[in-house]
């Protein structure tokens, strides 16, 4: 079973891992490690390569099991953990716009935190508005002005996932909806919230995968780079 170990332009080829070191230039963010299904050793190895390739950027691993998080904390200094996300290296100074992460219930906080910490690792300024679900709409309306003060909104909700529709009607900001798997019975692991967000009657909402706070932050980055005067 021969394997490839050539070094090619644009990526570092370690055989079973090929680090896409050219990605920051192309897409504005370094590759992150999707840890699910990888051994702790593979995750550490990939993070090491990312740190070597981009020492100025924190390296991220998502969907880490506890054993994986332990291995990462043992292997590196300066690891920040938020649920299943590991951030290796210092958070940069915020240099892009502001991301407001809004979440419907306290149970949605783990996903909101994934969005918040990823955003910070990508040099965005972050704010959290928590527990403003639509069953007590006045809690949300009390934040209306503040909602309009952020550049981009990430709205996180499980169960029926109605929050993004209401928020989108209150502001003109880009709104990234994140369905969560919070719920039971006919929530079908987040399917209910996902369908709600895809079918929103409020135009201009976009959606990411269930529980994908990481992806929402990445999308926010793409949007905020539009306003980045220092970029080119």
Residues whose CB falls within 8 Å of the CB of residue 54, separated by 6 or more in sequence, listed in order:
21, 24, 30
For a copy of itself, the closer CB: 23 or 54: 23
CA distance 133 to 55: 40
How many residues does the structure list for the chain? 232
Beta bridge partners, 82, equal 85
Contact 20, 11 (CB under 8 A): yes
For a copy of itself, the closer CB: 89 or 190: 190
Contact 85, 73 (CB under 8 A): no
For a copy of itself, the closer CB: 73 or 206: 206
Q: How far is the CB of 178 from a copy of itself (least distance, A)?
A: 10
CA distance 223 to 45: 31
Q: How far is the CB of 85 from a copy of itself (least distance, A)?
A: 13
Q: How far is the CB of 111 from a copy of itself (least distance, A)?
A: 9
Q: How many CB atoms lie within 10 A of CB 227?
A: 11
Q: How far is the CB of 54 from a copy of itself (least distance, A)?
A: 15
Q: How far is the CB of 230 from a copy of itself (least distance, A)?
A: 14
For a copy of itself, the closer CB: 89 or 179: 179
For a copy of itself, the closer CB: 76 or 202: 202
């Amino acid at each position: 079973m021969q394997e490839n170990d050539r070094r090619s332009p644009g990526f570092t080829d370690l055989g079973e891992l090929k680090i896409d070191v050219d990605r920051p230039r192309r897409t504005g963010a370094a590759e992150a490690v999707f840890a699910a299904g990888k051994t702790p050793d593979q995750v550490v190895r990939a993070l090491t390569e990312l740190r070597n390739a981009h020492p100025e950027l924190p390296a991220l691993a998502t969907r880490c099991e506890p054993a994986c998080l332990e291995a990462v904390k043992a292997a590196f200094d300066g690891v920040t953990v938020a649920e299943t996300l590991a951030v290796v290296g210092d958070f940069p100074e915020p240099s892009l716009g502001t991301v407001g992460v809004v979440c419907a219930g306290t149970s949605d906080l783990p996903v909101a935190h994934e969005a918040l910490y990823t955003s910070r690792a990508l040099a965005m300024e972050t704010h959290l508005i928590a527990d403003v679900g639509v069953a007590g709409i006045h809690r949300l309306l009390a934040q209306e002005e503040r909602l309009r003060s952020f550049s981009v909104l990430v709205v996180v909700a499980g169960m029926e996932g109605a929050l993004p529709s209401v928020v989108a009607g209150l502001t003109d900001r880009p709104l990234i909806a994140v369905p969560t798997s919070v719920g039971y019975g006919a929530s079908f692991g987040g399917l209910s919230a996902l369908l709600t967000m895809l079918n929103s009657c409020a135009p201009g909402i976009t959606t990411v995968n269930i529980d994908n706070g990481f992806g929402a932050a990445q999308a926010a980055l793409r949007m905020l780079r539009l306003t980045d005067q220092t970029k080119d």
